Amino acid sequence: MKRVLIVCTTDSMIWNFLIPHIKEMEKNGYYVECASSITGDFYHNLVVQHNIKMNEIPFERSPYNMKNIKAYKMLCQLIKRKEFDTIFCHEPVGGAMGRLAGHKYKCKVVYMAHGFHFFKGAPKSRIIYYWVEKILSYYTDVLITINQEDYDVALKFKEKKCFKINGIGIDTSKFRKDDTLKNYLNKEFKLPDDSVKLLSVGELIPRKNHEVIIQALAKLDNPKVFYFIAGDGELKSELNNLIKTLNLEKNVFLLGYRTDISQLCNSSDIFVMPSIHEGLSVALMEAMGCGKPVIASRIRGNVDLIEQGKGGYLCNTNEIDMYARAVEKLALSAGKCKQFGEYNQSVVKLFDIGLVKKQLMRILEEN
């Protein structure tokens, strides 16, 4: 029986993305434990609701935080004590610690890059992440990527084997088109029947770039267009101030953290993803599963999912006018929205969790 330790910087990574894959490994005879920091209720819920074997390692998100030295020592002790033979690691800090510790104890080391922290258009300061990843690739047996840009870069590294899989997977039986939910948001916010509803799902953080859509709506100046953002984060006050400054209080709504994403997607008309960088967005795939047309930034991950003029419109990351024109085009064409949404529904089937679980298990079994 293979003994696998999944190493993540945060418990939220395991909660949000890895539970189906842990269950699939266990189903295939693997013994699996996880190591991560505690960032909320995720850790407790993983144990209680999903019976996942957890080990607290106090990783800090910042790779420069000296507390990670203690976390590394604890990780080494855990691997040595429980005699794991495979380390499957994720996220920058968890990925670095897991690879170094796994190599030290002669484990097979598998690293999944959910989006390298260097990318086309990144600030020059991020070049350090490239060199760290290149050095760590010497300690990596299998490197798994989830988008084409990262895969192309990874092929130049020194890991023994490199693969690309179709993201982390989404449940297309849950995220599917449901016309009965069309008025879900209308009822909650008392919207007119002819309203056009835009939706973004993501934390209120700089990387998600929500402000560019808010500014685009101000430029568009169409009272029938409404924008909903599901997520919470550090920029909540700043975004609220921007909304007030632009007199958009009646048209832009910060929904906070929501668990009804499928209902929100089905009630919206257009899904918007203006991020500065992504790996391969689960939120975007979920909207595609619900048959939504998409307006997204032209970045890695997004370009893997959205085909220009077939599934939606790709815009330069910070070009407000470009987003405004894209919103206007789709707001004026229900036919195009339907056409793009149907196309996205067919594309996203390739990213279904059932297929991705098989891709990942094949890599773990054969390498």
DSSP class per residue in 270-282: EEEE--S--SS-H
Structure tokens, 334:
């229900």
Separation between Cα atoms, residue 359 and residue 82, nearest integer Å? 28
Give me the half-sphere count of Cα atoms (radius 13 Å) on the Cβ side of residue 241. 4
Separation between Cα atoms, residue 141 and residue 61, nearest integer Å? 24
pLDDT by residue for the chain (367 residues), tens only, comes to: 799 999 999 999 999 999 999 999 999 999 999 999 999 899 999 999 999 999 999 999 998 899 999 999 999 999 999 999 999 999 999 999 999 999 999 999 999 999 998 888 878 878 899 999 999 999 999 999 999 999 999 999 999 999 999 999 999 999 999 999 999 999 999 999 999 999 999 999 999 999 999 999 999 999 999 999 999 999 999 999 999 999 999 999 999 999 999 999 999 999 999 999 999 999 999 999 999 999 999 999 999 999 999 999 999 999 999 999 999 999 989 999 999 999 999 999 999 999 999 999 999 999 8
209: DSSP letter: -
Provide CB contacts within 8 A for 321, sequence distance 6+: 216, 219
Domains of the chain: 3-169+353-366 (3.40.50.2000), 179-351 (3.40.50.2000)
Provide CB contacts within 8 A for 128, sequence distance 6+: none
Predicted TM-score (pTM) of the model is: 0.94
| Closest-CA residue to 97 (of 66, 76, 118) | 76
Separation between Cα atoms, residue 338 and residue 129, nearest integer Å? 41
